[in-house]
């Protein structure tokens, strides 16, 4: 994923390859974690029961269980975003090294 500026707001743009996780990646991860941290068990239960289609599950989580989608995001103030990190695709060697490190944990 890459954070890009579009129409005076920040959007997530999906990339075709795996990228190196830097500041933008950690920001996305933290935002996801905070938005569902209180309802992650509920989400797991809903997925396990397999009662909802994807769109219904998104609506249930986004509007009923969590308040992540209720608030509109703030407008992007010009100059507030100091650095736009360029997406860096991960090389095959970097990906293999990362997999080895995960196995070592």
Per-residue pLDDT of the chain (105 residues; tens, 9 = 90+): 888 888 777 888 898 888 888 888 898 889 888 888 888 888 888 888 888 888 888 888 888 887 778 878 777 776 566 677 888 888 899 989 988 998 987
Give the model's pLDDT for residue 1.
Answer: 85
What pLDDT shows up at residue 24?
87
Residue boundaries of the structural domains of the chain: 2-104
DSSP sequence for the chain: -EEEEETTEEEEE--SS-B---HHHHHHHHHHHHHHTTTHHHHHHHHHHT-S-HHHHHHIIIIII--TTTSPPPPPPTT-----PPP-BPPHHHHHHHHHHHHH-
pLDDT of residue 81: 67
């Amino acid at each position: 994923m890459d954070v890009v500026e579009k129409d005076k707001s920040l959007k997530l743009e999906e990339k075709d390859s795996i990228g190196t996780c830097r500041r933008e990646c950690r920001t996305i991860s933290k935002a996801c974690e905070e938005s569902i941290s209180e309802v992650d068990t509920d989400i797991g239960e809903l997925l396990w029961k397999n009662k909802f289609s994807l769109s219904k599950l998104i609506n249930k989580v986004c509007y009923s269980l969590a308040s992540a989608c209720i608030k509109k995001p703030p407008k992007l103030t010009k100059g507030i975003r100091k650095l736009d990190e360029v997406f860096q695709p991960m090389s095959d060697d970097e990906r293999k090294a990362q997999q080895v490190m995960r196995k070592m944990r």
